Amino acid sequence: MPIIKSVRGKEPQIPKDCFTAENATIVGEVTMGEQCSVWFNAVIRGDVHFIKMGNKVNVQDGAVIHATYEKSPTTIGNNVSIGHNAIVHGCTIHDNVLVGMGSIIMDDCVIESNTIIAAGAVVTKNTHVKSGSIYAGVPAKKVKDISPELTSGEVDRIANNYVKYASWFKE
């Protein structure tokens, strides 16, 4: 069973159609949308501020989502993939975003819709990533515009695949 705990009277809100792996941890003021999945060793800590996730968000193995105490909540839109071992902290991510494996998005960043944060990128505090961009590097910078092929071929494909993968564990 996953670790799902209330903290300071706030309890995670997880719809029945979401998948949470046996060793995932979800605590505090966390609200998840429909068809979300939280994979093995992922941690979503809504203990110091709220975390709100839209529909079809997948938080892959080892990823951490957290916030900053009484200052920076974390808000994640619809159709968002948080890659393996990524860290999402006190920021806003809009719809249709791919956060690559091992990347870090720091406090008060805004990641607009239809964007890719490349694997290993570090998006530093207060960075505003414009819609349709691909950001990579340390610190992350815009490397190019996202093509419609990448939006459908990567962002949408991965989010849809994780809904399918989660269904395998519900059989």
The neighbour count for residue 122, using CB atoms within 10 Å, is 18
* Greatest alpha-carbon span in the chain: 45
Question: To the nearest 10°, the Cα dihedral for 159, 5, 63, 21?
Answer: -60
Query: 53-73: buried (b, 16+ CB within 10 Å) or exposed (e) per residue?
Result: bbbbbbbbbbbbbbbbeeebb
Q: What is the pLDDT of residues 86-133, one digit of tens each?
A: 999 999 999 999 999 999 999 999 999 999 999 999 999 999 999 999
Percent of the chain past pLDDT 90, that is, above it, reads: 94
Q: What is the pLDDT of residues 52-62, one digit of tens each?
A: 999 999 999 99
Domain ranges across the chain: 3-168
Q: What is the pLDDT of residues 132-146, one digit of tens each?
A: 999 999 999 999 999
Q: How far is CA 112 from CA 39, 72, 151, 161, in A?
A: 24, 17, 13, 22
The architecture (CATH level 2) of 3-168 comes to: 3 Solenoid (2.160)
Percent of the chain past pLDDT 70, that is, above it, reads: 99
pTM for the model: 0.96
134 Cβ neighbours under 8 A, 6+ residues apart: 115, 116, 118, 142, 143, 144, 145, 146, 150
- Residue 5 has φ and ψ, to the nearest 5°, of -130, 145
